[in-house]
Structure 1
Amino acid sequence: MTDSSSSVVDEETFSVRRTIHIAASVDKVWRAVTEPEYISRWFGRTVLDGAGVGASGTMTFSNGAAIPLRVEAKDENRLVAYAWSNDDALGDVPAELDEATATVFTFTLDEVDGGTRLTVVESGFERTSDPLANLEDHRTGWDSELDKLVALVEGEA
């Protein structure tokens, strides 16, 4: 990984952003951010009821919380967006995606010399119970999770 910049919070747009360079092909990174069995190896155990837009399921973390998840957008090898009900400040996780408080995280992939530039942007924090606390929690979360993604993908490259 040639670029290991940290996630950045934008309090004006209530979003978190991180861009990294991964020394692996776009195809390999695409699989890592779209295939549940691959996502489960670096993020949280992911189960989806399909592969396209509208597919829903859960992402379960080590604390046992099963976060409702849905594919919002997909452009093959370019962009995938997921909505999830992951309001850290609430404590209780809803059984289904809560449209009123869900945030959306979008992975955008670009082919660059030596691999792939991956950008994640998570937005919608203004709808959560404690926007500023959730922004900070997710900022540190994206740092940790994307570092694991890079280690996995580059380790297999």
Structure 2
Amino acid sequence: MNASTDRIEKQILLKAPRSRVWQALADAESFGEWFGVRLEGQRFVPGQITQGYITYPGYEHLLMQVEVQRVEPERLLSFHWHPYAVDAEVDYSQEAPTLVEFTLEEVDGGTLLRVVESGFDRVPASRRDEAFRMNSGGWDEQMKNIERYVG
């Protein structure tokens, strides 16, 4: 396993209290607002599936589905999903999912948010590089989105 190909790591200092950042992450409806997915009426519950349609133009036909792993208030939210699952003709359910972990840390000036997505080495080789590249860029965008949302 190669850390540089297996995992994406991003972080951002958010000028907001940890409780505000946690609410934006752990409340599924709030998460959907900044992340760009319809999660109205849903919750993030460990062991359960949360799903909704993407709201980004051109991707509205795609259903984002996550299986929530851990919810540790104001510290950690994690879920499994299938990275860059954008082909409606493909059944991704047989693939090993990646693990997305959001961790919060109180620091001077606000809250440090870290996102780590790991498990790309288990994504089928035929789509691994593209999934890694697209999700890496996607997490850059999502860091800006949550910064706007909590700011």
Q: Same fold by TM-score, threshold 0.5 exceeded?
A: yes
SS of the equivalent of 1:86 reads: coil
Which residue of the partner structure matches residue 91 of structure 1? 87
Say which is worse superposed, 110-119 or 48-57, in terms of deviation. 48-57
Say which is worse superposed, 48-57 or 60-69, in terms of deviation. 48-57
Q: TM-score, normalised by structure 2?
A: 0.83
Which residue of the partner structure matches residue 136 of structure 1? 133
The answer to whether structure 1 residue 53 and structure 2 residue 46 are counterparts is: yes
Q: Which amino acid aligns with 2:26?
A: T
Which residue of the partner structure matches residue 12 of structure 2? 20
Which residue of the partner structure matches residue 29 of structure 1? 21
Query: 5+ unaligned residues in a row in structure 1: which ranges?
Result: 1-8
Q: Deviations for 1:72-94, whole angstroms, at most 9, x for unmatched residues? A: 11211101101112344x61377
- Give % identity: 25
Say which is worse superposed, 78-87 or 15-24, in terms of deviation. 78-87
The answer to whether structure 1 residue 113 and structure 2 residue 125 are counterparts is: no
Say which is worse superposed, 129-138 or 110-119, in terms of deviation. 129-138
Asked if the contact 1:66–1:93 (Cα under 8 Å) also holds between the matched residues in 2, the reply is no
Between the aligned partners of 1:132 and 1:112, the Cα distance in structure 2 is 34
Between the aligned partners of 2:90 and 2:69, the Cα distance in structure 1 is 18
Higher helix proportion: 2
Q: How many residues align?
A: 142
Asked if the contact 2:9–2:114 (Cα under 8 Å) also holds between the matched residues in 1, the reply is yes
Which residue of the partner structure matches residue 71 of structure 1? 68
SS of the equivalent of 1:139 reads: helix
Structure 1 runs, 4 residues or longer, greater than 4 Å off: none
Query: 5+ unaligned residues in a row in structure 2: which ranges?
Result: none
SS of the equivalent of 1:118 reads: strand
- Over 3 Å counting, the alpha-carbon distance change for 1:43 and 1:120 in structure 2 is same
Q: Which amino acid aligns with 1:105?
A: V
Give, in angstroms, the shift of residue 50 of structure 1.
Answer: 4.1
- Over 3 Å counting, the alpha-carbon distance change for 1:59 and 1:84 in structure 2 is farther
SS of the equivalent of 2:93 reads: coil
Q: TM-score, normalised by structure 1?
A: 0.80
